[in-house]
Structure 1
Amino acid sequence: MLAGGASERMGEDKLLLEVGGLALVERVYQALAATCSEVLVVGRESLPFGGVRFVRDRRPGREGPLAGIEAGLHAAGHPVVFVAAGDMPFLHEGLVGLLAGVVHGGAGAAVPWFDGPHPLCAAYGRWVLSSVSASLDSGVRSMRGFLGRLGRVIYVGGEQLSVLGDPSLMLMNVNTPADLERARRVAG
């Protein structure tokens, strides 16, 4: 789980804000823990709950989510790693399993596509670590730039996502107070 953002648009630490009685980051943790045997948190050193292992970025400075993915892939103990942003209140454990299965089938990455790619809610093979590091070393910081270079990406969209639920909710990030209000309304 990526948990290193500055929450600038929210104006406060969004990962600890509650939606449906749980902190955003805890909701993501529960979806991951239901499917994954190991949950790593990159970018933080503590959370108000247990069951996670904390990992530091391997590069100095704030180099963005691709650097967080590099750290997570390096530290992971399994061949397939699911990456999720810590601000996804409706992440579905079925989506985690679906995308991880695509990577187990041989893809370098399995990325949801709904109104564009969602690379911070995707499965990656640990074997792409060298490609991540090479991209960062060459100055590529954007996820889309990295995926364009990777070339072994399977995009999962439309019908496959809809079987699990509303993709606009499953892939939702809470970045602004308006997003938080919507998430709380949906969560009841």
Structure 2
Amino acid sequence: MASGRPDWYSSVAMHGKHNNDYITVNVDELGNMLAKIQGLFGATLKTIAVDTNGIMKANLAVQDLDYLNILSEGVGDVIATSNYGGNGIVVVHTVNPGKTLYLGLLIATLYINIAGNYWVGVRDDGAVEQYHFLKGTSAVGQPTQVIAIPFSPVLKIGEDWDISLWSNDASLLINAFVFGYEK
């Protein structure tokens, strides 16, 4: 068993495994480690480059991953909308035909003046509830609540499905804001 801090200057050699052999890692005259990092691009082995300042810039991820980012330009139509209601179902946003909604953020505000039930969720194209982001029962005297739900990675919702809110009393109001994009 060892204890204490490592003494990096007392290292004799660092080795890396290449096939079945252990090879000493090279260093330059100042003791800086030299490395050549490579990865597959399709069937081609490519070396990761550095810029003029020696900084490595690479997008390290699963090959052929389709990146989706709600802040990028040109990825789709930005959706930033809200709606409110109580005592029934209110649609906040319906995904356009031929599109998929990539939901990045949902913020719900519950204005509670009475005991009741509520939910904020997703319904399919037949208006059948599929899942809820929030679902609960309120009590008299409960304070107003603001709930933010970021989705990372983004949540995919299919065409003609909607994000809706519901409560069973007009005195239990919900405001829901959604942010994402359709593509």
Scaled by the length of structure 1, what TM-score is found? 0.21
Per residue, is there more strand in 1 or in 2?
A: 2
Q: Whose relative contact order is higher, 1 or 2, with alpha carbons under 8 Å and at least 6 apart? A: 2
Task: Give TM-score scaled by structure 2 length.
Answer: 0.21
- Please tell me whether Structure 1 or Structure 2 has the larger radius of gyration of its CA atoms: 2
